[in-house]
Every structure is written in C-alpha cells, then in structure tokens.
Homo-oligomer: A and B are copies of this chain.
Amino acid sequence: MTIDDVARRAGVSRTSVSRALLGQNKVSDQTRSRVRQAAEELGYVPSVAASTLASGRGDTLGLLLRDAANPAYGLLFTELQRYGREAGRQVVSMTVTTDEHGRGQVAALHHLVGLRVAGLVVATGGLSTEQLLPFAGILPIVRAGRPEESGLLHAVSYDERGGGAEVARAIHAHGHRRVAVLVTDADVSYPEWVRGTAIVETLRALGVDVDELAVRRHFEGATEVCDLARQRRVSAVACPSDMRALQVLRVARSQGLRVPDDLSVTGFDGILPGADLIGLATYRIPVEEVASAAIRTLLEVVNGAEGVHQLQMSGRFVEAPSLDRPVPAPT
C-alpha cells in the first residue's frame, strides 16, 4: 500500500497525490477530492520514513524523558506533549528508567536523533552536557527541568535554589531552630542536590542549627530523623522531595511520633495527588510553566532564533499541617 496505489485508484500521478495529501494548494479541487477519497477507501497511511527522507526534514518533535512513574515527570511529560500538540506538532517520546545508566540513555538519544526529529526536549538529568553537545550541532535541543550551567545549551528549568531558600524561610518562620535536612549527592539526583544545598545554606544564614543527613535511596534517612526527633535534637526535617517526605511520615507514624508536634516535615515537588489529604507542606514546582516554556523555546530555535536561551521558573511554597508548629510569641 503505497502512494502509487492511491495514484492509480484516483487516476492521477503520484505527484498529485502527494500534493493533495500535503494540503498544498497547487491542486484542483477535483483532484484533491478524488485523491482523498481514494486514500480513504484504501486506508492509506503515508510512510513517515519516506516522507522525512524525501523532504529532508521531520516536523515531529522529540522528547527524552525520565521515568514517568514519578508523578512529577509524568505531569511534565503530559504537559510537554500537550503544548507540542497545541503548536501543531506531533510529539514522540522515549523514556529511560533511572537504572539504565549511560548506555540506554545514549541509545535512546541516538534513536531520536536518527528519527530526524525537528527538535528535541531532553527532560532527564542522566545525560551530561558533554553527551548532548555533539548532537546540538545536528538539531535544536532544549533541556527541561534542569539548568545548563555550561551556558552552551538551551535550558528551561525550575528555580530549585530559590525554592530551597523559600522552604528554609518557611521552616524558620514557623519557629524551628534545630532542623534536620536530607541531602543527596548531585549524581543521585541533581535537583534534590540543589534543593538540599540551598535549604541548608539558607537555614544556616538564618541562624538555624542544621543536621545534614546524607541519603541516596528514597527510603534512607527516615529512621535517623525520627531518632533525632525523639531525642529532641531537631524539631523539623526538610526533605528534598515529596517521596522522601512520605517515607519520613511513614516511619514517624509507625514509631508513634506525632507530626507536626514532635516533628515538622516539609517536602518538595507538590505534584502528588492527595498530598493535601496527607497534609504535607511542600514546594510546588511549576511543571506547566516549564513545559510550556520548553516547547516555546524549542520552536523558536527550530524556526531559526539566535543565541542560547536559558530560563528559570519559580513555584511557591504550600503551607500545610505537617509544618504547623506555632511561631513562638515574641516576649
């Protein structure tokens, strides 16, 4: 089933079929309608491969994503698709689970580049600037959800530092003076690393006593934090993601520790459906804005805009019962 079958059935040339189906206006109405009907009757689906090859350019946008099982990435994914579609582009995606270090990520990147997409949004921290750079010459690439400190690639990211500082100020404003902070390495999760670091720095600048706990897997550190709370060594804990905060809440509950009376808890992300029911105070990251700006930036670059585009979007802190310890009255 090729374009020639349609041409034969419509009684016109292959050229006319192509033009009619592409919606070009160099075809008579009669030809157009005959072609459409023939294509319809035959159930003809043009080969994107052949079309891309012949025209020399794809009009599809590519998306490279991190594991969508994480609600924050799932939402980012959906929003990127939505904005791409709104701009009249088809969007194809590939996901890389976090455990496939390096190899899988690069393979997926290659595949997307091989597909000759018009442009690419990369929403996984798993690929370094160095790994991306060689491809940036071939096609427009915008990194989403993580800043590009190199200044060499377009990037639309969350203001993780600002968010971390805001979380710290909220904790301080609620009267906490001894606080535990879960901190990851940059290679575990770049955003969590920035958040944790910013929280620690800001708290210290505010004169708060900080206990840094180095963690990796999402369930680590919760027990230690609860121990500290029971010993009254800290009255609050700041977690660099909601998932980690949930784990703290779980352990606290299982140990009979009251939240926020014995231990206040803050998270980071704010995407989890039902977080309001849990009463988790958190920082809501602006996923929709990042997705929208990433697509907008990509399209500008695809359409020939100059220079390197870098944007950061801010979210907002969400107060909730898990951080409800009253501010001590001034004496």
Interface residues of A (CB under 8 A from B): 1, 43, 45-53, 58, 60, 67-71, 73-75, 77-79, 81-82, 85, 90-95, 97, 100, 104, 107-108, 110-111, 113-116, 134-135, 138, 242-243, 246, 249-250, 253, 272-278
Can you report 21 residue pairs joining A to B where beta carbons are below 8 Å apart?
Answer: A45-B135, A45-B138, A48-B49, A48-B111, A49-B49, A51-B114, A60-B111, A69-B74, A69-B77, A70-B74, A74-B77, A81-B94, A81-B95, A85-B97, A85-B104, A90-B107, A90-B108, A92-B94, A249-B277, A253-B277, A274-B278
In the bound assembly, the distance between CA atoms of A49 and B56 in angstroms comes to 10
Q: Which residues of B contact A58 (CB under 8 A)?
A: 49
Q: Which residues of B contact A276 (CB under 8 A)?
A: 250
A46–B114 CB distance below 8 A: yes
**Which residue on B lies nearest to A91, using beta carbons?**
B94
In the bound assembly, the distance between CA atoms of A276 and B247 in angstroms comes to 11
A111–B90 CB distance below 8 A: yes
Please indicate which of the listed interface residues A60, A71, A278 has the most CB atoms of chain B within 10 Å of its own CB.
Answer: A71
Given A74-B68, A273-B243, verify A92-B93 contact (CB < 8 Å): yes
Given A90-B107, A273-B71, verify A78-B49 contact (CB < 8 Å): no
Chain B min CB distance to A292 (Å): 14
Chain B min CB distance to A137 (Å): 8
Please indicate which of the listed interface residues A1, A45, A79 has the most CB atoms of chain B within 10 Å of its own CB.
Answer: A45
Partner of A78, one of B68, B104, B107: B68
Q: Which residues of B contact A53 (CB under 8 A)?
A: 47, 49-50, 53
Top 9 A-B pairs, shortest CB-CB distance:
A74-B74, A48-B114, A69-B78, A49-B52, A49-B49, A68-B74, A81-B95, A49-B53, A69-B75
